[in-house]
Copies of this chain bind each other. A is one copy, B any other.
Amino acid sequence: MIPRAAKTQRRTRIQEEKEEKILEAALDVFSAYGFRGATIDQIAEAAGMSKPNLLYYFRTKEAIHRTLLDRMLFTWLEPLRAFDAAGNPESEIRSYIRRKLEMSRDFPRESRLFANEILQGAPHIEDELKGPLKELVDEKAQVIRAWIKAGKIAKCDPYHLIFSIWATTQHYADFDVQVQAVLGDKSGEGRFEDAARHLEELFLRGLKVEKPSL
């Protein structure tokens, strides 16, 4: 009878399965229509259950949304967290770009969920942006700044550099329809590699110090 936070504190197998199914369906709907555009009925149907049954596991529409966002935010920042100050600048930037691009390829719905949220003013995650996200970016910006001062990469604004990497990589998930429309349906397979090669070259050439070793 007690849906969330059961007495035993341990979640049932059924609970686990159904909640997963709901979140899976909700990710489809929220990422496609945004928070306000999504409806509980739609999510319930996609999850293959009745609306009251869905609301037995998540008390409100917002609860589902929040759970999805929380989950996503953590993994979303993982590539940036992996950004290593001790590593080689070129390979660090290269692998960061690649990791972010892989996420766009493998988790496009998560990317769109996030994009929808930001686009609509980030009403549910403003604190996370101004807190944990900002702190992490500040930290990594310092790393980049150190590389610049050490003459390892060309001078540039670290924050805007990070923004550029975010923008270009996430573009392939968020604006996929447009990318496909422009490129035509040809080259469905090689598309990811083409984008990866292009971005790596663009950023690494753009950051190479003027006179490498002369």
Contact = CB atoms under 8 A, between A and B. Distances in A.
B118 A174 contact: yes
A202 B203 contact: yes
Nearest to A175: B118
Work out how many copies of this chain go into the complex.
2
Interface string A20-52: 000000000000111111100000000000000
A189 interface: no
B37 A129 contact: no
Contact of A163 (B38, B171, B205): B171
A83 to B, nearest CB: 15
A183 interface: yes
Interface stretch (A7-15, A59-67, A142-150, A154-162): A154-162
User: How large, as a class, is the contact surface on chain A?
Assistant: 35 or more
Contacts of A207: 202, 205
A156 B182 CA distance: 17
Nearest to A121: B177
Nearest to A129: B181
B34 A126 contact: no
A194 B33 contact: no
Given A32-B121, A129-B178, A202-B207, 12 more contacts: A34-B116, A122-B178, A126-B177, A129-B177, A129-B181, A154-B201, A156-B202, A160-B198, A160-B199, A163-B171, A163-B175, A168-B168
